[in-house]
Amino acid sequence: MIQGKKEKIQEDGEFFLKAKYLDIQTGHPWVVLIHEEDGKVYGVRAGDELSVKWNHRKTEVGVDMTRNLIKPGEIGLFRDIVERYKIKAGDVLELTLAPAASSLECIQKKLVGKRLSYPEAKSIIYDIVHYHLDDIQIAFFVASAFGKEVFSEQEIYYLTKAMAETGEMMHWQGIVADKHSIGGLPGNRTTPIIVSIVSSLGILMPKTSSRAITSEAGTADVMEVLTPVEFNSDKIREIVDKTKACIVWGGALRLAPADDRILKVSYELGIEPYSKMIVSIMSKKVAIGATHLVIDMPIGEGAKIENYREAIKIKKIFEFLGKKFNIKVRVMIENVGKPVGRGIGPILEMRDILRILQQKENRPLDLEKRAIKLAGNLLEIIGKARRGQGEKLAYQQLISGEAFKQFQNIVKAQGGKEGLDSENLILGATTYQITSDKKGIIEKIDLKQLIRIVRLLGSPITKEAGVYLDKTVGEKVEVGETLMTLYTDNEQRLHLALAELQKTELYHFQ
């Protein structure tokens, strides 16, 4: 039987196996299963990498071995790889042992402090996109940013260019506006408001946003409360043709695809060098076709960037890349250091957004102010408003109702709900009010701990989970007053959050 199988091996080392679907999700869309008997025949061992070809496509995969999950002659494909590459059960795949990735030499070069050329930077990014590098090898590349000789501005440019060019790139006619927040502040959900204001003036703003990784929610998670957010590029063009804008999840596209893998490794390592953050942001702006960009860079205790000196360094690199890619960039540095808005969690944040767009009496004015400021600056660099007049124009679009009308158009074009109203959103049925045992003025709220509490309550997966800040920084509190209200969908999650609150002092008083 073994002798017969050897006849399947060609002179150049390829062999053929039939695809079998395994309904298991691993989180690693490059791992396959091979039967141990086939491994002996073809000289394949667990941990090896294989080149796989099918239907004029090619990728590389890592190998796990099994004795009984599949039969000899089959290759087991987990749900991850099937969903990524649309391989069908029964397809015959051509396989060969993969050589070591050529970019490993480039990573080694960077680890010892040498500079990368553009071809070297692109080879690393190409190998990440095509799974020629595994997570451990990517981790060494990420770690090289912390070496004695960190990435130069020119290397950051090379990596940004390579990241954009190895994925899908979109092209539009005329001005294309964009905005990005560095993050770190709970709430601060300005994007839907800014997109609505700017695009209501006829300016193109195809906005791709992220889902939460370490935060309580990403803009895509919040928008998903009202509308689908996952579309291919053709559908995005159709939406933008109708409305001048969209607010979608960037992960559904292949914009700068290497970033997803690098981001995952960075998260698992618990590190994010600023060079990686800048490349991640700018490569997606290049790929989406942005011509004008405002960067929201909040600083302060608990934010991603805590001091002004570091913020200035990062600002200069953003401006350098803007010139390289012909994108007009304005970086807004502001010391905030507190939550923005009242709702923390998808539905609660959407309620804040709608209250501002609808100009309700109970709208969070701090969130409104930040959105107007950022939108105003974007309108100024576009040339839609003179310097110093952008905020006035942005505010006019808000109070006139034009921004809310445009937001409804965007939601409808994306297949979402109609008849939007902030007070119709349904929150988690399991609630708990945290009251104050102190009297005074709130000086600080622990931002990282607040995010942890919201995630324990179930956000962002559970849209109705989160925290409403009845009292926030700078407000006076009496003994017995409600500081915040917790929302979730079950008692167990509530108990987890309450147990965590017992361990820490979330609110700090003057």
Angle at which helices 402-413 and 346-357 pack, to 10 degrees? 140
Q: What is the CATH number of domain 104-165?
A: 1.20.970.10
pLDDT at 21: 95
Q: CA geometry: angle at 378 spanning 474 and 366, to 5°?
A: 15
Closest CA to 151 of 280, 251, 268, 270: 280
**Cα dihedral 174, 179, 180, 185 in deg (nearest 10):** -170
Name the E strands within 242-372. 245-249, 292-299, 328-335, 343-344
Give the integer Cα–Cα distance in Å for 225 and 208.
16
Evaluate whether 2-97 and 104-165 have a shared fold.
no
Give the integer Cα–Cα distance in Å for 146 and 233.
36
Residue 93 bridge partners (DSSP): 17
Give the integer Cα–Cα distance in Å for 106 and 118.
11
Give the integer Cα–Cα distance in Å for 135 and 26.
14
pLDDT at 1: 33
Could you tell me the residue ranges of all domains in the chain?
Answer: 2-97, 104-165, 177-256+272-413, 426-509
Give the integer Cα–Cα distance in Å for 159 and 120.
9
Do residues 340 and 356 make contact, with C-beta atoms less than 8 angstroms apart?
no
- pTM equals 0.87
- Side-chain-side CA neighbours of 187 within 13 Å: the count stands at 27
Name the E strands within 164-280. 177-181, 205-209, 245-249
What ranges in 345-490 are assigned the alpha helix state H?
346-357, 365-382, 390-399, 402-413, 447-456
Domain 177-256+272-413 classified CATH 3.40.1030.10? yes
- Cα separations in angstroms, 325 against 2, 176, 292: 57, 13, 11
Residue that the structure tokens 């002659």 belong to: 73
Q: Which H or E run contains 267?
A: helix 258-269
- Cα separations in angstroms, 455 against 88, 191, 214, 353, 473: 37, 21, 9, 20, 21
- Domain 426-509, what fold? Aldehyde Oxidoreductase; domain 3 (3.90.1170)
pLDDT tens, position by position, for the chain (510 residues)? 333 444 444 445 799 999 999 999 887 767 899 999 999 999 999 988 899 999 888 888 889 999 999 999 999 999 988 988 889 999 999 999 988 888 999 999 998 889 999 999 999 999 998 888 888 899 999 888 766 568 899 999 999 999 999 999 999 999 999 999 997 789 999 999 999 999 999 999 999 998 887 788 899 999 999 999 999 999 999 999 999 999 999 888 888 889 888 888 887 776 777 888 899 999 999 999 999 999 999 998 877 888 899 999 999 999 999 999 999 999 999 998 899 999 999 999 999 999 999 999 999 999 999 999 999 999 999 999 999 999 999 999 999 999 999 999 999 999 998 999 999 999 999 999 999 999 999 999 999 999 999 999 999 999 999 999 999 999 999 999 999 999 999 999 999 999 999 998 999 998
CATH of 2-97, one of 1.10.3720.10, 2.60.40.10, 2.40.40.20, 2.60.120.10: 2.40.40.20
Give the integer Cα–Cα distance in Å for 294 and 291.
10
pLDDT at 113: 87
pLDDT at 147: 61
pLDDT at 145: 77
